[in-house]
Amino acid sequence: MQGLLYIVSGPSGAGKSTVIKSTLDKIHGFSFSVSYTTREKRPGEIDGKDYFFINKSTFLKMKEDGKFLEWAEVHGNYYATSKKFVEKKLKESRGLVLDVDVQGALNIKKIYKNAIYIFILPPSNEDLEKRLKKRGTESKDSLEIRLKDAKWEISHMKDFDYVIVNQEIKESTNQLISVLVAEQLKRERFDERAPFFFKKQL
């Protein structure tokens, strides 16, 4: 089996991690790619489940050793996706979901052109600003820088296949489930799923 790769991204503060978590709790056969990060653990986060939390020197060593599919620096913290983890999970499951910032998503797109790119937006600019202000406690950057970054990130929505406006977590979850499932049903992927119709004559 070769599973599909789903890249879920969007400006920080759009709530993408919550939507992904809620989605993967509700469906079977899909896995989540756990990223490496140097940022501080937030309350409720679990090492090895939400992220692999590592320090900067370990991160830079892994990067040097070519262990990462992509890496990015966002608001002073490093994030990366492990090559080995992705390749293993794609063999084991129908689909693997990656939670990455927009920079990371664009880097992955250079390698995995056939992955499915999903952009999650906050419901409005006002809402985004509110969420970014709240995030201010974790980041050393000024609100101005965070808003500028979000603007750049939203300008790259054009590089994505689907857009989910995260108005209400339950609806966004259903929408993400729909994208994951519908992509599995694409006709050009049917050959691998149920070849009996072609092999057997009626």
Asked if residue 113 binds a second copy (CB under 8 A), the reply is: no
Q: How far apart are CA 49 and CA 181, in angstroms?
A: 23
Binding mask 71-110 for a second copy (x = CB under 8 A): ----------------------------------------
- Amino acid at position 84, single letter: K
- 23 alpha-carbon distance from chain centroid: 12
The residue with tokens 């129908």 is 94
Report in angstroms how near the CB of residue 3 gets to a second copy at its nearest.
17
The two three-digit tokens of residue 123, written as one number: 């419901």
| # chain residues binding a second copy, by CB under 8 A | 38
- The stretch near a second copy (CB under 8 A) out of 29-37, 38-46, 134-142, 187-195 is 187-195
State which of residues 55, 64, 192, 194 lies at the interface with a second copy (CB under 8 A): 194
Asked if residue 49 binds a second copy (CB under 8 A), the reply is: no
- Amino acid at position 83, single letter: K
Binding mask 126-165 for a second copy (x = CB under 8 A): --xx-----------------x--xx--x--xx-xxxxxx
Report in angstroms how near the CB of residue 107 gets to a second copy at its nearest.
19
The two three-digit tokens of residue 65, written as one number: 């050793």
Q: How far apart are CA 12 and CA 28, in angstroms?
A: 27
For residue 1, how many other CB atoms are within 10 A of its CB?
10
User: What is the enclosing helix (H) or strand (E) of 73?
Assistant: strand 68-74
Asked if residue 187 binds a second copy (CB under 8 A), the reply is: yes
Q: Is 181 left (phi over 0), alpha (psi -120 to 50) or beta?
A: alpha
Asked if residue 190 binds a second copy (CB under 8 A), the reply is: yes
The two three-digit tokens of residue 173, written as one number: 């979850």
Task: Write out the binding residues.
Answer: 10-17
Residues forming the site for a second copy (CB under 8 A): 119, 121, 124-125, 128-129, 147, 150-151, 154, 157-158, 160-165, 174-175, 177-183, 185-187, 190, 193-194, 196-197, 200-202
